[in-house]
């Protein structure tokens, strides 16, 4: 192989720096104004089109369906003070009373849960920058105790498109990626090239890290730290026009945070600056085991009016 010249190396470095600068500049210039107009509330979901659904359907070769959601219970690891309890009740049936001439009986349930736990969709009203959220919406104008008046999870349409899995554990040659490991452009491109996949506009991108195994081994560690998306990686993927980014971790981004990055800065870039949705707690192990790197992604979430997030169980079909 011919050794690259010093001039060629310098040109490559300069081009890489220019790309990084342009990505950062484009997203920081005036992020409070959405390119989809002043009234937009769905952000990157605007990329979704019927053609993407048809293209995704063509990826189905075996008909195998993968559940990406996890079972949620009172023991599911979550950030304090989040928690979940379920109560099973039998209304109108005290002391084993039955209902009607045919002695009908039934169970009902009451959930007392924080929605932001388990497998979840983060809406655009979740994280802001200095109390300003996606498309320049200030918290004082839309974040009400009775529900968001803008950017609610109920505004998000069904997400049906091509899904791409990046198996970062396989790429790095480990079973579980070490906490604090960030995935930026080099790692994203490296994994994609190794798998032979291309990330395109309208995609949902999922990272497999193996970190989900920590949820049972060490629940406190599972939420306290994790590998994940880096600041540069967030800017890189959003520049490609992806709809949503997810991982098998509690918060998607690398924790401990990267040097010189802010608190949950990746969340700020995705949700506030670019309107890109976040999928947390995704069950990616089966996809990784089958090397299912491209698939049809289908998400129809519970539409709680004015909610910030939604527990979800999306599916991948290949």
What are the pLDDT digits (tens) for 137-172?
Answer: 999 999 999 999 999 999 999 999 999 999 999 999
What mean pLDDT do residues 81-110 have?
95
**Residue 4 has what pLDDT?**
52
Domain membership of residue 9 (yes or no) is no
Q: How far is CA 96 from CA 28, 106, 254, in A?
A: 63, 11, 52
Quickly list H helices, the chain.
Answer: 6-28, 50-57, 139-142, 168-172, 185-195, 214-217, 219-224, 231-239, 265-267, 285-289
pLDDT digit string (tens) for 3-36? 555 555 445 444 444 454 444 444 456 999 999 9
> In terms of domains, do 134 and 91 share one?
no
What mean pLDDT do residues 182-208 have?
98
> In terms of domains, do 240 and 99 share one?
no
Partnered with residue 33 across adjacent β-strands are none
Q: Which domain CATH number covers 145?
A: 3.50.30.50
**Residue 96 has what pLDDT?**
87
Domain membership of residue 127 (yes or no) is yes
pLDDT exceeds cutoff 70 at 281: yes
> In terms of domains, do 231 and 283 share one?
yes
> In terms of domains, do 97 and 239 share one?
no
**Residue 228 has what pLDDT?**
98
Domain membership of residue 216 (yes or no) is yes
Higher pLDDT, 200 or 96: 200
What mean pLDDT do residues 194-203 have?
98
What mean pLDDT do residues 49-78 have?
96
Domain membership of residue 6 (yes or no) is no
> In terms of domains, do 195 and 99 share one?
no
> In terms of domains, do 199 and 94 share one?
no
> In terms of domains, do 256 and 147 share one?
yes
Calculate the CA dihedral of residues 195, 118, 235, 304 and round it to 10 degrees: 120
What mean pLDDT do residues 303-309 have?
97
59 and 294 Cβ atoms separated by less than 8 Å: yes
> In terms of domains, do 195 and 284 share one?
yes
Angle at 207 between CA 68 and CA 241, to 5 degrees: 100
- Mapped onto helix, strand or coil, the DSSP state of residue 86 is strand
Nearest to 185 by CA among 12, 306, 20: 20
pLDDT exceeds cutoff 70 at 244: yes
Higher pLDDT, 6 or 82: 82
Q: How far is CA 100 from CA 35, 90, 95, 97, 109, in A?
A: 58, 14, 16, 10, 21
**Cis previous bond, 253, omega within 30:** no
Residue that terminates a domain, selected from 93, 113, 133: 113
**Residue 95 has what pLDDT?**
87
Nearest to 276 by CA among 4, 36, 22, 13: 36
Q: How far is CA 63 from CA 70, 121, 212, 291, 316, in A?
A: 21, 25, 25, 15, 10
Domain membership of residue 141 (yes or no) is yes
Two tokens, residue 249: 């971790």
Total count of domains within the chain: 2
pLDDT digit string (tens) for 248-280? 999 999 999 999 999 999 999 999 999 999 999
> In terms of domains, do 89 and 232 share one?
no
- Provide the percentage of residues in the chain whose pLDDT is more than 90: 90
Two tokens, residue 80: 């304090």
Domain membership of residue 275 (yes or no) is yes
Range from 2-16, 45-59, 158-172, 298-312 carrying the lowest mean pLDDT: 2-16
Task: Give me the chain's average pLDDT, please.
Answer: 93
**Residue 14 has what pLDDT?**
46
- Mapped onto helix, strand or coil, the DSSP state of residue 72 is coil
- Mapped onto helix, strand or coil, the DSSP state of residue 61 is coil
Domain membership of residue 12 (yes or no) is no
Q: E strands of the chain, at which residues?
A: 65-67, 84-89, 108-113, 120-122, 132-133, 137-138, 143-144, 147-148, 159-167, 182-183, 204-208, 228-229, 244-247, 277-280, 294-299, 309-311, 315-317
What mean pLDDT do residues 186-199 have?
98
Instruction: Look up the domain containing 182 and give its range.
Output: 28-76+115-317
> In terms of domains, do 98 and 147 share one?
no
> In terms of domains, do 101 and 248 share one?
no
Domain membership of residue 135 (yes or no) is yes
> In terms of domains, do 102 and 218 share one?
no
Residue that terminates a domain, selected from 92, 113, 134: 113
């Amino acid at each position: 192989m011919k050794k690259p010249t010093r001039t060629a190396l310098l040109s490559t470095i300069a081009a890489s720096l220019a790309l990084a600068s342009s990505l950062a500049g484009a997203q920081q210039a005036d992020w409070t104004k959405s390119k989809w107009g002043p009234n937009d509330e769905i952000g990157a979901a605007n990329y979704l089109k019927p053609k993407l659904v048809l293209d995704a359907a063509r990826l189905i070769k075996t008909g195998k369906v993968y559940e990406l959601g996890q079972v949620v219970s009172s023991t599911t690891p979550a950030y304090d003070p989040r928690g979940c309890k379920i109560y099973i009740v039998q209304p109108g049936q005290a002391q084993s009373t039955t209902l009607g001439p045919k002695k009908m009986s039934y169970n009902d349930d009451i959930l007392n849960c924080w929605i932001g736990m388990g497998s979840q969709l983060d809406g655009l009203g979740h994280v802001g920058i200095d109390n300003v959220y996606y498309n320049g919406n200030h918290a004082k104008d839309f974040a009400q105790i009775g529900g968001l008046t803008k950017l609610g999870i109920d505004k998000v349409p069904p997400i049906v498109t091509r899904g791409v899995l990046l198996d970062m554990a396989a790429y790095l040659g480990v079973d579980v990626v070490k906490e604090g490991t960030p995935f930026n452009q080099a790692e994203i491109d490296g994994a994609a090239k190794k798998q032979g996949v291309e990330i395109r506009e309208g995609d949902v991108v999922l990272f497999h890290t193996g970190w989900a195994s920590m949820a049972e081994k060490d629940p406190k560690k599972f939420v306290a730290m994790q590998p994940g998306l880096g600041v540069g990686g967030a800017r890189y993927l959003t520049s490609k026009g992806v709809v949503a980014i997810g991982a098998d971790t509690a918060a998607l981004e690398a924790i401990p945070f990267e040097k010189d990055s802010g608190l949950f800065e990746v969340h700020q870039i995705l949700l506030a600056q670019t309107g890109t949705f976040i999928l947390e707690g995704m069950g990616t192990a089966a996809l990784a085991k089958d090397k299912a790197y491209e698939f049809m992604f289908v998400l129809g979430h519970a539409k709680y009016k004015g909610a910030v997030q939604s527990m979800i169980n999306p599916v991948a079909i290949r």
